[in-house]
Amino acid sequence: MEDFEPTIIAFVCNWCTYTAADLAGTSRQSYPTNVRLIRVMCTGMVDPKYIIKAFLEGADAVLVSGCHPGDCHYINGNYKARRRMKLLKAILPQYGFDEKRLKLTWIGASDGIQFARTIRDMVSEIKELGPNEAKHAAVV
């Protein structure tokens, strides 16, 4: 799997992780280009459908990243997101989507360094895991 370059879909909260990603860029933190950022207003709006669709379309991993507990701009969106992740982690592995492919993190607006590190770690972990099997199958 030398030349396997994973595709990571990241749903990032506008108020924190998206800003952190921006900060990582402006402060010249380097992180792999494997990640496709999708800016959402809050992790609480990440419908499980988005994540399921990403995997069925062949994403090798999905990251959902939002504000730390207590910091959500909509008060509790991140707590709801955490329950949905709990749910999806009970569902997706049953169909062979490794649990490691689905991650939830809290990354605050000033955590540019942590954002870059999270992506780097994730890319190397997924490289080791190999590609998502659904990538080439006609499973939509």
Partner 1 sequence: MAKTSLCDAADQNLQTSLASFFRSMLGQDEISAIMAPMRLPAGDMVMQTLVTNPEQVDQIDPFAPAFPMNAARLVSRLTKRPAGGKVVVVLRPCEIRAHIELVKLKQGSMEDIVIAGIDCAGSFKNTDYKKFAEKDPETSTARFLKGVLSGETRFDGEVDLSAACRACTHMVPNGADLAIGIFGMDIDRQFLVSAETEKGEALFDKLGLKEQDAPGKREETIESLVAVREKFKNEMFEDTRSKTDTPEKLAAYLSGCINCYNCRVACPVCYCRECVFVTDVFDHDPYQYLRWARRKGKIRMPTDTVFYHITRMAHMSLACVGCGQCSNACPNDIPLVELFTATASQTQAAFEYEPGRSLEEEPPLAVFKEDEFAEVVEVKH
When binding is defined by CB under 8 A, the residue of 25, 80, 127, 129 that contacts partner 1 is 80
Instruction: Tell me which stretch binds ligand FES (CB under 6 A): 1-9, 36-44, 93-101, 117-125.
Output: 36-44
Of 53, 67, 4, 65, the residue nearest 32 (C-alpha): 4
Q: Residue 3 corresponds to which tokens in the numbers above?
A: 């030349």
Q: Give the residues across from 66 on adjacent strands.
A: 106
Q: Closest approach of Cβ 118 to ligand FES, in Å?
A: 15
When binding is defined by CB under 6 A, the residue of 44, 46, 105, 112 that contacts ligand FES is 44
Q: Which does 35 bind (CB under 5 to 8 A by kind): ligand FES, partner 1, none?
A: none
Going through the chain in order, the beta strands assigned E by DSSP cover: 8-13, 35-40, 61-66, 102-106
Q: Which does 96 bind (CB under 5 to 8 A by kind): ligand FES, partner 1, none?
A: partner 1
Of 68, 57, 54, the residue nearest 108 (C-alpha): 68
Residue 41 DSSP label? S
How many CB atoms are closer than 10 A to CB 140?
8
N-to-C CA span, the chain: 25
When binding is defined by CB under 6 A, the residue of 13, 104, 107, 109 that contacts ligand FES is 13
When binding is defined by CB under 8 A, the residue of 97, 101, 112, 116 that contacts partner 1 is 97
Q: Which does 67 bind (CB under 5 to 8 A by kind): partner 1, ligand FES, none?
A: ligand FES
Binding region for ligand FES (CB under 6 A): 13, 15-16, 42-44, 66-67, 72-74, 77-78
